[in-house]
Structure 1
Amino acid sequence: MTILVGYTRTPEGHAALTAATSEATLRGERLLVLNAGEQPGQADSSSLAHLESDLRAAGAEFELRQQSRGLSAADEVLATAQAESVQLIVIGLRRRSPVGKFLLGSNAQKILLDADCPVLAVKA
């Protein structure tokens, strides 16, 4: 079984990673860390190396992927979840005003509404 976490270099991404690592360890499942979508959330190679080091220290079985197929972060997470038949998706949330959600859209909202498996949304 696999737990998928949508990771970005933000407080929300770190909160999601922490929760996903705890869930994977608790359940004895593999963790798939996906750094995906458009450039702003993508980690550079030194950040990914540091992330790998932290995951090894946590003792979780994991795979780290960086996807950039031109899809939105939400679409990357959903496509990966379906392709890998994941049991749980973990995402981080930030506070947004109703107007901000209306004007900018929401990756979290799309994942919550369109995922075929349970989604754990973690506040940062």
Structure 2
Amino acid sequence: MKEEMVSIVVGFVPTKEGRAAIARAAEECRLRRVPMVIVNSARGGRDTTAYGADSPAEVELAQLVEQLKADGIDVSMRALVRGMEPAEDLIAVAEELKADFIVIGLRRRTPVGKLILGSNAQRILLDAPCAVLAVKAD
């Protein structure tokens, strides 16, 4: 019986935590020899782009993808602008792909910050259909 190919889904935002998530996901992809799917989720309408084609965040993401490909990683990207929370987008992509796991970057937040803003990380940890690897930035 042929083994089914799994993938690693990683959430990206242009922060040190987002970069740490990409770096760790790359390590896991090399180790497991599986593809990576980067999810870049932004709020907005269906006709909106996540950042704009020449924004610093879009340029950084394109450079990251090219570097990952140069390093031999099978990587694809999904820029989702559907008005959904990033947690919802990551979970949906992981479910669709039957991902092996999700990699996310974590940052420290105050209890009040968690209360007011909610926590995408917490939602992913609790609702993901697969294992979640949460990494901190250096």
> Which TM-score applies when normalising by structure 1?
0.91
Structure 1 partner of 2:84: 71
For 2:109 and 2:71, the matched residues in 1 are separated by: 31
Structure 2 partner of 1:5: 10
- Distance apart, 1:46 and its partner CA: 2.4
Calculate percent identity across the aligned residue pairs. 45
Provide structure 1 residue ranges, at least 5 long, that are not aligned to the other structure: none
Q: Would you say the 8 A contact 1:21–1:58 is kept in 2?
A: no
| Structure 2 counterpart SS, 1:33 | strand
Provide structure 2 residue ranges, at least 5 long, that are not aligned to the other structure: 1-5, 45-49
Specify the code of the residue in structure 2 equivalent to 1:38.
R
- Distance apart, 1:79 and its partner CA: 0.7
The answer to whether 1:32 aligns with 2:37 is yes
Which residues in structure 2 correspond to 1:1-124 (within 5 Å)? 1-38=6-43, 42=50, 44=55, 45-124=58-137
Kindly report the root-mean-square deviation, in angstroms, between the aligned alpha carbons of the 2 structures.
1.4
Q: How many residue pairs align between the two structures?
A: 122
Larger Rg: 2
Deviation larger for 42-51 or 12-21: 42-51
- Distance apart, 1:47 and its partner CA: 2.7
Specify the code of the residue in structure 2 equivalent to 1:15.
A
Specify the code of the residue in structure 2 equivalent to 1:4.
V
- Distance apart, 1:57 and its partner CA: 2.4
More helix by percentage: 1
For 2:82 and 2:27, the matched residues in 1 are separated by: 29
Deviation readout 1:5-45 (Å, 9 max, x if unpaired): 00111111000000001001100011111111327xx4544
> Which TM-score applies when normalising by structure 2?
0.83
- Distance apart, 1:48 and its partner CA: 3.1
For 1:91 and 1:46, the matched residues in 2 are separated by: 21
